[in-house]
Amino acid sequence: MTLLYQANDNLRFGLGYVNSLDYGTPQFVIDPLAFGHSLHARMDAELGPRRLSVLFKYDVDRRRRFDFEFRFSQVIGCLDIFVQNRDFPRSFQIGVRLRGQDFIERLRGRTVKREKDYAGTGGK
């Protein structure tokens, strides 16, 4: 179940509850569910070309935080440069993503200039 609140055009909050069940005997060590009941809280803020996202996850059964994630990104032209850190699974990423729609729009806006001699005849 999720509840979202849009404070304004640039700020959004979310709260969620997850209830998971598993049955049977897991075949592999990684198969069992890591968390059965959890609460999630999220905040997304857009500040012009910048975006900040924060995600907090709390395990209700064990009464402890099991994940915290933050992500900061900056849009520059058709590129989205980001830094992301996450507790579970543990990861830290710095990267660049190509924003496909913006890239295509930039290509469409270009003026194509070609010589009239397409066949390589030297214009004769």
- Where do the DSSP E strands lie in 1-124? 2-8, 11-19, 37-47, 50-59, 64-76, 79-86, 91-98
Tell me phi and psi for residue 64, to 5 degrees. Answer: -155, 155
57-111 residue pLDDT tens: 999 999 999 999 999 999 998 899 999 999 988 999 999 999 888 778 877 876 6
Judge whether 91 and 84 are in contact, CB under 8 Å.
Answer: yes
Residue 97 counted as domain residue: yes
* Any domain includes 15: yes
pTM of the model: 0.72
Domain assignment present for 56: yes
Distance CA 37, CA 21 (A): 9
Domain assignment present for residue 10? The answer is yes
Domains contained in the chain, number: 1
Work out whether strand 64-76 and strand 79-86 pair parallel, antiparallel, or are unpaired. Answer: antiparallel
The whole domain housing 77 covers: 2-20+36-108
121 assigned to some structural domain:
no
